[in-house]
Amino acid sequence: MIIPDLQDLPRTPYDFTIVGSGPAGLYLAEALGRAGRRVLVVEQGPLDKPLNQGRGYYEIDATGKDYPRLGERLAAFGGTSGHWGGMSRPLSAAAFDERPYLQCRGWPIAYQEFANHLDAAKKWLGHTFGPEDPAYADPQDGFLPGPSAGLAAHQFAASVAIRRLGSELRPWIGTSRRVDLLASHRVVDLALGEAGTRIASLRVMNIRSGDTGKQPVDQVILATGGIENARLMLAAGRDLPAGNPLTGRHRRTGATFMEHPKFVGLEVYHDDSFPLADTGWQVVPGRVMKMRSFSLQENVFKKLELPRFGVMFWGEADENVQVADFINVLDRVVLAKQRKYRLSRPEFEFEQMPRDRSFIALSDKTDSHGQPLARMHWTLGEGEMRDYWKSINVFASLLSQCGAVRTRLMFDSFEDFAQNAKQLIQHHHIGTTAMSADDRTGVVDPDCQVHGLLNLHIAGSSVFPNADYVNPTLNLLALADRQARYLLGLKR
């Protein structure tokens, strides 16, 4: 049911109050409602048309590397699903392992504990189309015409009709008897109870009138995205004594912000026998599209001590390439044959490792509601940049073993790459309320419950302790499915 105003809410707490109605929040709302619990979803954005008059994005203060001021995350019912790309692939098992050579602890849960929930997440996204053809099965052999030692192909999927939750779930939320929605209302504060071990109430602002009120709560789930989950906790804890559970006993809230940086650093000249010249989407019978990327075999990542990455070929870069012509001439002279080469400049999508130098904090600047903006201090260290440059070199050299391909590095040296490579972002906000069994190294425990608080939980990619290189949404949905079971156990 849709609740028009804060004043219309019942004074007795719902079993669960979910803040944020993106994929994470709505997955949990559906699952908890289906199991008979009373759920309130509070969403700061409107029920529809998030981008009216340029509004609907939430603003950040970026003090590290360049980042769009509006972060591209949508504020509306359905969250950022209103314009996400739908591209999905499960996290790799290797990302769950400790990787001491990258100073990376890994996840505090076994891979299988996460993977058991992937089927539910795939189904929710519409990514299942028969057990004989699982959406994410990687092609084993024959993806290169020639030796492919060290290279691997990774399969991504998207549904043909990408889920836009706002429009799709509006009829459901309008008639649901268990799940209520309070849209155009923003949670601006979390108030602790006397003992300091529970959230007693939320301060909620009506975005249209500016009026605020207090809503008592039972169990609370923050599902506001990887920037706002941390910002809200930091804002709520800023006037409390140091060591409070909102900012973290060891000040971990907001630490280790991660993105998936993308770089273009390699030109690939290939003839028509190169099957992955364009890794663009292919529609397969059913409701799914598939796309492949290149990556490295797991043992190669390990041996070379590299962070994870994938390489996407998005078609031809240029029809008339002088260097390609030069290679054609060379082939004619040296190999006595003429080939017709095309040029691609593939995108390298990288894993960023969790580091304290990259974080979310509170800015001194405030937004139109008088709330402190999130200060995003996103950085990439020299070590990471060196790893990325090494990865591009390794990939180029492995790809060169394929006869149909010539490669050319676009930068002369690491220094040239570090200074001049254009770096792109993916709007993936990861790791600011990381999962850890120990509150010295994370914010939530392995059940996604905030350390030191009995009724505060977090859903979304902010709980990922590391990021792999793959898109987060399928994976945060699998975690939400796991979290739903835990939450149902708390409110039998």
The answer to whether the CB of 195 falls within 8 A of the CB of 18 is no
For residues 438 to 467, the per-residue mask of contacts with ligand FAD, x marking binding by CB under 6 A and - elsewhere, is ----------------------xx------
Pick the closer one to ligand FAD by CB: 385 or 453.
453
The answer to whether the CB of 387 falls within 8 A of the CB of 307 is yes
Residues of this chain, 286-305, that bind ligand FAD according to CB under 6 A:
none
Pick the closer one to ligand FAD by CB: 253 or 407.
253
Residue 86 CB, shortest distance to ligand FAD, in Å, is: 5
**DSSP string of 6-59?**
GGGS-SSPPSEEEE--SHHHHHHHHHHHHTT--EEEE-SS-SS-TTGGG-SB--
Cα separation of 249 and 440, whole Å? 8
Q: Is 73 in the site for ligand FAD (CB under 6 A)?
A: yes
Cα separation of 8 and 182, whole Å? 10
- Could you tell me which residues come within 8 angstroms of residue 333 by beta carbon, excluding any fewer than 6 positions away? none
Cα separation of 387 and 261, whole Å? 13
Q: Is 43 in the site for ligand FAD (CB under 6 A)?
A: yes
Q: Is 473 in the site for ligand FAD (CB under 6 A)?
A: yes
Q: Is 471 in the site for ligand FAD (CB under 6 A)?
A: yes
Q: Look up residue 432 and give its amino acid.
A: T
Pick the closer one to ligand FAD by CB: 20 or 245.
20
Using DSSP, how many helices (H) and how many strands (E) does the chain show? 10, 21
Residue 112 CB, shortest distance to ligand FAD, in Å, is: 22
Residues of this chain, 234-273, that bind ligand FAD according to CB under 6 A:
none
Q: Is 310 in the site for ligand FAD (CB under 6 A)?
A: no
Nearest residue to ligand FAD, using CB? 22
Residues of this chain, 78-137, that bind ligand FAD according to CB under 6 A:
79-81, 83-88
Residues of this chain, 183-212, that bind ligand FAD according to CB under 6 A:
186-187
The token pair that represents 157 in the structure block? 């999927």
Cα separation of 465 and 482, whole Å? 16
Q: Is 146 in the site for ligand FAD (CB under 6 A)?
A: no
Residues within the interface to ligand FAD (CB under 6 A) = 19-25, 42-45, 72-73, 75-76, 79-81, 83-88, 186-187, 223-225, 228, 232, 427-428, 460-461, 471-473, 476
